Each structure stands twice: as C-alpha cells, then as structure tokens.
Amino acid sequence: MDLHTALFAHAERQHAADLAMAPQLTQDALTLTLKNGIILSVRYATPDAYSLRWHSGADRSGAELGIDTAPTHAHLATTPNHLHLSDGRVVADPLTRISATPEDNLSAVIAAVLADPLMQSHA
C-alpha cells in the first residue's frame, strides 16, 4: 500500500467528523476538504519527504500555507521541515516531525488547521 492510500484510509477512519466530503485520491496526492472550508493537499514521497499545503475557500482563492521538507532553510531549528506562512515568511515547523509517522503528521496538521487555519498563533 502506498503512503497516499494509507493516509486516505487514515483520514476516513480517524477524521471522518473533520471532513466536509470524502477524501480525494489522485496520482500524486491526497486532497482533503475540511469542515471549516480548508482544502488540504497532502503529498508524501517518503515518510520523511513531504509537502502539506492548505488553502481557505473552495476555489482555492484564499491564503496558502504549507509545511514541507525541502532542505532550503537550514537556519531553522526544525530543518528540514518548515512552515510557509501566508505572508511569505518561513518559520520553524510547529506541527510535524520527520521522525513521526505520516498518519501522526497528518493528524497534527488537521487538528491545527481546524483550530487556526492561518497559523496566527505561530506567526
């Protein structure tokens, strides 16, 4: 089973109450629409190489934020993972860990974006 298929099953099993509609699985991503209108795109190449991006608004016109593991911000305490804020700043990732399971990371992001979609408490 690939990571996206496993995360699809995890989302259906553990986060059904948080979802506005059924998860959508594509060739390279899992897309979740949360009950607060956030659209979360989940891409995992390996358990320690991932990108989780979210938008507000069903048409994806709202602010985009995301966490990824691109090795481009070595100065951050959580390198390689980091959080892209809607204003363009990049800060330490307060939600995921490369040592955590993809399911645990996904659950952490879902809980956080339901509570604070723009991550204002981390700005």
- Alpha-helical runs (H) found in 1-123: 3-14, 102-115
Q: Is pLDDT at 1 greater than 80 in this prediction?
A: no
Q: How many CB atoms lie within 10 A of CB 117?
A: 20
For the entire predicted model, the pTM comes to 0.92
Q: What pLDDT digit, counting tens, does each position of 99-108 carry?
A: 999 999 999 9
How far is residue 33's CA from residue 65's CA, in Å, rounded to a whole number?
15
Q: What pLDDT digit, counting tens, does each position of 45-102 carry?
A: 999 999 999 987 655 666 789 999 998 888 999 999 999 998 889 999 999 999 999 9
